[in-house]
Structure 1
Amino acid sequence: MNLTLAIAIIAVAAGVIAAAMRRVPIGQVHSLYRRGQPLRLLEPGTHWVVPGLDRIGHRIDLGGQVLRFEQPQADSHELRGTVYWQVLEPERAEATIDEAPQLIRCGALAALGESPLAAGDRRDLGSRMKQALNGALRERGLMITRVELEIA
């Protein structure tokens, strides 16, 4: 009877320890929430959390990310683009990380507008789009690293 109780206590203790340990991979930052409120950011490495009270809110990838979009043009051409972006300041980006792809997509499409494009305008439009997006996203801890446009 005592052996069974000891094994059960050891198993429960091992389960609590396993639930309290969080491993954050290199190149990521995890936001830790307690009772629905942001507590802190967990940098890469091993961290101890309070099981049942703490939870991981966002897993923020600090490497580059890619967003593709398409925009039909008035002259029956289709403009395709790829926006490469990354998180520079996870403290700022944590609040809007779920909305980041939609913010980038809306900003890119707004920068394109409805004007027809010639083949030579792509590079200039790409750099203008990058500047406009960075102006809007920089305060949120995000940065556009590159914009590629293609007229189909």
Structure 2
Amino acid sequence: MSASILIVLSLFVLVAFMVKRVPAGQVCSLYRRGKTVRLLQPGIHLVLPLLDRVGHRIDLGGRVLRFEEPLVDAGDVRGTVYWQVLEPERADAMIEQADQLIRRGAVEALQGKVEAAADQRALGQQLKQSLNGMLRPRGVMVTRVELDLAA
């Protein structure tokens, strides 16, 4: 009696580990032996429990990155960058470092431009173009930049 209960429980646990649910608006990368095998689209999927591992959960909705501390030494520039993942296949490799890449790209793009900027909207547009030039090949797009320049 107890052996059959143990077998049934083991099968139930195995099935529970095989079924992965991906919520709407997300994709998940599926890894096998450390390499990305495929992306799991929203829905219910079966995976091999001891062979496959669900890696990154990539949210396809918009994300917000706020800069509370000044971005450049020359001026008190703070702001918000709105971005989203367009191509999860490309973004999977860099999604964990996306915030650092955006911040570093913003600092590089703003060096020497803050003092010469007459309009913060134009400076934000230049920053957006610069960031998109760096991030588009990686499957990510900046949708909007809002800068706060100290007077």
TM-score, normalization: structure 2?
0.91
Q: How many residues align?
A: 148
Partner SS, residue 49 of structure 2? coil
8 Å contact kept, 2:71–2:106: no
- Pick which of 111-120 and 54-63 moved more: 111-120
Bigger Rg over Cα: 1
| Counterparts of 2:36 and 2:116, CA distance in 1 | 48
8 Å contact kept, 2:65–2:82: yes
Query: Using a 3 Å threshold, how does the CA distance of structure 1 residues 14 and 104 change in structure 2: closer, same or farther?
Result: same
Partner of 1:30: 28
Partner of 1:91: 89
Shift of 1:95: 1.2
Partner of 1:146: 144
Please provide the CA RMSD for this pair.
1.5
Partner of 2:133: 135
TM-score, normalization: structure 1?
0.91
| Letter of the structure 2 residue corresponding to residue 44 of structure 1 | P
Residue number among 36, 46, 49 corresponding to 1:48 in the alignment? 46
Shift of 1:114: 3.7
Shift of 1:128: 0.6
| Counterparts of 1:91 and 1:72, CA distance in 2 | 32
Fraction of identical pairs, as percent? 58
- List runs of 5+ in structure 1 lacking aligned partners: none
Shift of 1:151: 1.8
Partner SS, residue 27 of structure 2? strand
Partner of 1:82: 80
Residue number among 9, 13, 16 corresponding to 1:15 in the alignment? 13
- List runs of 5+ in structure 2 lacking aligned partners: none
